[in-house]
Structure 1
């Protein structure tokens, strides 16, 4: 019998599928075609590998006792890059790699936009745990791919710190700060906080370890949403570029401007309509999906998502891994003998 509650499942599925929906809508610039598949971009693909990496990190820690989770998640990104055929990616073993069930999903092997900072970091530093290189990118992928880590609020005390550590494996301090804040917003939504309260708390909870986005970095977005909601000019000013910090501020503004569950699709269309809005839509989708649950997502569009089934399975498996322990502990027969093959613990 599972220990996962219906509320937890609705929240996790809402967060991950909301992220994927925002990714697909963002890619269209808000001009969603009337029919056909809604394809994921590299942002959605990387988010899938983040979830898989978190699951595999927990399995490694449970079975081996020694684990550096950010390095295991980084290894997940190398599998994504290898599947994409990106040159200069270290092979971790000659046979049966990339491994795990995600490596069998054809859509994840198709290049859908670039992730230059992530790719260059993976090419330049192929060794786990190496500390000799420092990354400087401020790009939004550091934020968008890590947001499901906020679901760790159910089993981890500081998902924001973990998110920053993962982001730091490929991006610079500002982007890592944005990742920490974004994941903590999700974590507070998991606790049942409203979007504005979740954001206010995240700013305070991350103050002890943020390096660039110190103080109350999201206050402008919060005030703008209260005083001038749903204004394209305001959103454009909050998101002047494709930095992670800008995407985060824009997502907070959008999520607060369209806080009613019935407005979720309007929120994503609004986010996608500004020049740098595609990453805003990804983050806003994750926030609103976590806040309102999977039932708030428009079924007609979710059913058209290229990676809907993949994202849904990952959300369910993430909860199962931490709350049900299907792989066991390494001392007894696992409840699910196939779990290790699906998520090898390394």
Structure 2
């Protein structure tokens, strides 16, 4: 019998599906076509491999008694690089042999834009840490791909530091703190204000993203000019500021579609709407996401499966453990730890 609650499942599914939907809407620039699939970008692909790595980390902890989650997420990113054909990663060669079911999803092997900081870090074959980051990039992928990390007992900033540095790591920590409060049941605006009031070790980044975004939202109606000012480029702090401004202006369950379209008008490459989608999905659950868009989302099944499996692994451990047998004999094949 499962220990997973309906609330836990809705939170995880909303977070991952909302992120993926925001990523796809961002790729359209806010002009969503009337029909046809809504493809993911490299950011959405990397978010899928982040969740895969978290599940594999928990499996490893269960069966080996010790695990370093960032290292498992790093291995999942190496799987992504291998199936993408990134130079230096050849399956079965000196690079990396991908494992698990996610590496067999054909769409994830398709090039969907660039992720230069992540690729460069993987090619250096050096895992970055908060104290010793891998590279100098402050790009938005550090934030967008790590937002689901807060569904797991781990620090999103650590995951961002695998490949990014500086403000990007701080933005991931702030975004993750908001997701964690939403997952705990806090209302959206209350969660945003709580993190702004107590940004932990990320006060400087908060003053340049979270605080001005909330102040702008409280000062008047949604403004594309204000959104452009807050999210002028593809840095992680811009994505965080733009995404938070959009959801703070339009926080309700009934305005999710409007909030996503508004965030997509930021002109920052679609990163702000990815943040907005993850936050709104976590706050309101998957049923609040526009069905007509969600049904066309290219990676909907993949993202939904990962979200469900993450919650299942955390609470039910289908692969078993030292003192209890597996309930799913194929789980460790799907998520090798």
Partner SS, residue 205 of structure 2: coil
Aligned twin of 1:31: 31
Listed as ranges, the gaps of 5+ residues in structure 2 are none
Q: 2:264 aligns with which of 261, 265, 272?
A: 272
**C-alpha displacement at 1:117, in angstroms?**
0.4
**C-alpha displacement at 1:199, in angstroms?**
1.6
Deviations 1:212-263 (A, max 9, x none): 5266851110011111231000000001111001100111100111111111
Aligned twin of 1:297: 289
Deviates more, 1:2-11 or 1:191-200: 191-200
Query: Following superposition of structure 1 onto structure 2, how do residues 56-135 of structure 1 map, counting pairs within 5 Å?
Result: 56-89=56-89, 97-126=97-126, 134-135=134-135
The change in CA–CA distance for 1:96 and 1:147 in structure 2 (over 3 A counts) is: closer
Partner SS, residue 251 of structure 2: coil
Partner SS, residue 213 of structure 1: helix
CA distance in structure 1 between the partners assigned to 2:95 and 2:88 by the alignment: 17
Aligned twin of 1:40: 40
CA distance in structure 2 between the partners assigned to 1:310 and 1:56 by the alignment: 16
CA root-mean-square deviation: 2.2
Native 8 Å contact 1:229 1:253 kept in 2: no
The change in CA–CA distance for 1:314 and 1:134 in structure 2 (over 3 A counts) is: closer
CA distance in structure 1 between the partners assigned to 2:95 and 2:78 by the alignment: 15
Partner SS, residue 251 of structure 1: helix
The change in CA–CA distance for 1:211 and 1:63 in structure 2 (over 3 A counts) is: farther
Q: 2:211 aligns with which of 219, 237, 249?
A: 219
Native 8 Å contact 1:203 1:216 kept in 2: no
Aligned twin of 1:240: 232
CA distance in structure 2 between the partners assigned to 1:151 and 1:205 by the alignment: 20
Aligned twin of 1:164: 157
Aligned twin of 1:139: 139
Partner SS, residue 49 of structure 1: helix
The change in CA–CA distance for 1:95 and 1:80 in structure 2 (over 3 A counts) is: closer
**C-alpha displacement at 1:202, in angstroms?**
2.3
Native 8 Å contact 1:204 1:216 kept in 2: no
Which TM-score applies when normalising by structure 1? 0.92
Deviates more, 1:108-117 or 1:266-275: 266-275
Deviations 1:58-105 (A, max 9, x none): 111111122111111111111111110010237677799211000110
Deviations 1:104-148 (A, max 9, x none): 10000000000000000000125698x977421100000000111
CA distance in structure 2 between the partners assigned to 1:220 and 1:148 by the alignment: 24
Aligned twin of 2:188: 195
Native 8 Å contact 1:230 1:254 kept in 2: yes
CA distance in structure 2 between the partners assigned to 1:219 and 1:245 by the alignment: 11
Aligned residues: 337
1:315 and 2:307 are equivalent in the alignment: yes
Q: 2:222 aligns with which of 214, 227, 230?
A: 230
Native 8 Å contact 1:26 1:279 kept in 2: yes
Native 8 Å contact 1:271 1:277 kept in 2: no
The change in CA–CA distance for 1:202 and 1:211 in structure 2 (over 3 A counts) is: closer
CA distance in structure 2 between the partners assigned to 1:128 and 1:182 by the alignment: 20
